[in-house]
Structure 1
Amino acid sequence: MKSVVQIRQAQATAFVAYQLSKLHTTSAAYVSKFPSFKSVNSGQSNRSKLAALDFKGRMSQQNSPGFGVNGTDNTAGWMRRRKPEHSKPSGKTIMQERIMKQIQSRLKERQKKDGKTERAPRDEEISAPMITLVSEDGVVEGVHPLTSVLNQMDRELHTLVMVDQHADPPTCKIYSRKLLYEREKQARKQANAQNRKVKQQIIALRSNIGEHDLEIKCNRIIGMLKKGRRVTVQVEKVKNAHSKPKDVGELVMKKVEEYSSVSIPPSIDRGLWSATVQGKSLVTN
């Protein structure tokens, strides 16, 4: 087996032979251009002159593409410019990029939600020049110019809201700012509560689960169902387990049937038993 020194010596010998072969090729090309160098092999001085001339020509043209013989780049590897190595991003940079992506995705989700629950135009947001005015008490006061209504209204206590944009002219009603704020706040609370109730939870079990662990899982499912949430129970098959996924799933369904109703009936797919139940507090509302 060759040692490291022998391998290095062999590599150096091969490199020198390669450079000499390139020098010989380049010298033959210069002989055709310069008649004074016809006797290339006559002496070492001519070889030195050719090498110096070749080096000078390469150094003056190394910034120009295709400067070698026959329009090819014959520059030695050690003379070529190295391409700048792109440094790898640091862990901090990667983390910042991930955070920015998360922020952008959340902003997109927020924009989608805002688009679904877009509020009606108010005050200067109303573009119609003429409106059908409805007072705070619900009395229709006829058609009025929008500018005159806004000028006569106490803007600190009241706001003008478009309630029917399809009417001609659009119908707008005067609301108390405080009352309108309380209504919107209550509506947001109800929407958030509804979203929390509808949020689906997944509880994963295995067919070799013990009695104590199964009791803990069932209590957790019951707690979610009492809040009106939807829960999907999944039982995974384990090799050499005494119980089957179907048996464990049916046992869980019996324990939680008092607090839930079946949304998706039980099914088995490739050894995975699953069923979805809904809390009764949401069903009765």
Structure 2
Amino acid sequence: MQKDFKKKYRINEQIRAKEVRLISPDGKQIGIVPLSEALRYAEDYGLDLVEIAPTAKPPVCKIMDFGEFLYQQAKKAKEAKKKQAQVELKEIKLSPKTDKHDLEVKIKHILRFLEDKNKVKIRIVFKGRELAHPELADRVLQPIFEAVKDKAHIELAPKMEGRQLITILAPITKK
């Protein structure tokens, strides 16, 4: 991960600007100085000159320990990644003849998946002559939609794909 940050920032002799806006190690602004003078300042402190805002006019450079800076940036990125929610796609397989009790159990599973902020793919598999009666799937889907109406929305409307009917439910996110 630190290699990505190394490519992102230019340090010391890698900086190409003639003049830079210099910031001291304690965060105070020194001002706009020629690059050679900024490098000398950094050398006097025994630290690196790091270009932290290359798109600014003139670029902003700070005198700091680059190794420690990379460590802090990697740490921030790791924290941000931790806070990101990972959404998984869980799958429930049913048949048009799924019994009432079995359906209740599957609905409980679906509700648990939705509470965990996961999407749920419902797959109703048709066997043999069941394919002639796709309306049978309605008997299975209606109780599911009724049970999850306030916890999820239909992301993918029920549609036939070969011998199976597929729909996807996504949890409702509160803002």
Band the TM-score falls in, shorter-chain normalisation: 0.5 to 0.7
Instruction: Tell me how far 1:181 sits from its aligned partner.
Output: 5.0
1:188 maps to what in 2?
81
Which of these residues, 200, 206, 214, is aligned with residue 103 of structure 2?
Answer: 214
Q: 1:212 to 1:153 in 2, by over 3 A?
A: farther
- What code does the residue aligned with 2:126 have? K
1:203 maps to what in 2?
92
Q: Where in structure 2 are there 5+ consecutive unaligned residues?
A: none
Which of these residues, 120, 142, 148, is aligned with residue 250 of structure 1?
Answer: 142
In structure 2, C-alpha distance between the alignment counterparts of 1:142 and 1:215, rounded to whole Å? 70
Taking only aligned residues, the RMSD between alpha carbons, in angstroms, comes to 3.5
Q: 1:267 to 1:121 in 2, by over 3 A?
A: same
In structure 1, C-alpha distance between the alignment counterparts of 2:16 and 2:118, rounded to whole Å? 45
In structure 2, C-alpha distance between the alignment counterparts of 1:137 and 1:261, rounded to whole Å? 52
Q: Which has the higher strand share?
A: 2
Matches within 5 A, 1:1-285: 118-119=4-5, 120-121=8-9, 123=11, 126-128=14-16, 131-135=20-24, 139-144=28-33, 145=35, 147-153=39-45, 162-173=51-62, 177=69, 180-190=73-83, 193-194=84-85, 196-197=86-87, 199-239=88-128, 244-280=136-172, 283-285=173-175
With normalisation by structure 1, the TM-score equals 0.45
Q: 1:138 to 1:209 in 2, by over 3 A?
A: farther
Moved more, 263-272 or 171-180: 171-180
Q: Where in structure 1 are there 5+ consecutive unaligned residues?
A: 1-113
Judge conservation of contact 1:261–1:277 (CA < 8 Å) in 2.
yes
Q: 1:187 to 1:251 in 2, by over 3 A?
A: same
- What code does the residue aligned with 1:238 have? K
**Percent of paired sites with the same residue:** 20
Judge conservation of contact 2:151–2:171 (CA < 8 Å) in 1.
yes
With normalisation by structure 2, the TM-score equals 0.66
- What code does the residue aligned with 1:127 have? I
Structure 1 residue matching 2:43: 3-state secondary structure: helix
Instruction: Tell me how far 1:269 sits from its aligned partner.
Output: 4.2
> What whole-Å deviation, never above 9, does each CA across 1:217-256 have from its counterpart, x for those lacking one?
2222222211222222221223455981222122222222
- What code does the residue aligned with 2:137 have? P
